[in-house]
Amino acid sequence: MTSTTSPGGDGSTRREAGRLTAPDCLFCRIVAGEVPATVVAENEAALAFRDLDPRAPVHVLVVPRDHHADVVQLAAADPALLAAVVLLGDEVAEQESGGQFRLVFNTGSEAGQSVFHVHGHVIGGTRLGWSPA
């Protein structure tokens, strides 16, 4: 069943088959299997797949299956889902990076966010320097 309510508080979201989705959202399309991605871990709530443009030996994106534009909107709307995203990131890091990792949520275009479906960058597999700029 499809409804046009916007329980995420974002006028562009829709609930489809029990999931919050947004039209034309790239990561919603990856979650739906419409756009291919290399999935490395998943559960009921979230999906982890390799970044197309890796910046480190381990660079995986963790996303909630539901559409929320950024990490602040996700934290406000569904804190348990944010925790599920973080824990899936930890699972990926345990598999691929000895359990040590950086988790980055770019928030806003000035901060480097280019896809407005919240995603954490799980970065690791090497000793990381600190160079946010």
Residue 107 binding ligand DGP, by CB under 6 A: no
CA neighbor of 47 nearest in space, from 129, 110, 34, 57: 34
Candidate residues 10, 16, 51, 70; the one interacting with ligand DGP per rule CB under 6 A: 51
Residue 112 binding ligand DGP, by CB under 6 A: yes
Q: Is 59 a catalytic residue?
A: no
Sorted by sequence, the CB contacts under 8 Å of residue 68 that are 6+ apart come out as 8, 10, 20, 74, 77, 78, 81, 117, 118
Q: Pick the catalytic residue: 59, 67, 68, 119?
A: 119
Query: Which are the catalytic amino acids?
Result: 119
Q: Which residues bind ligand DGP (CB under 6 A)?
A: 26, 35, 37, 49-53, 61, 106, 112-115
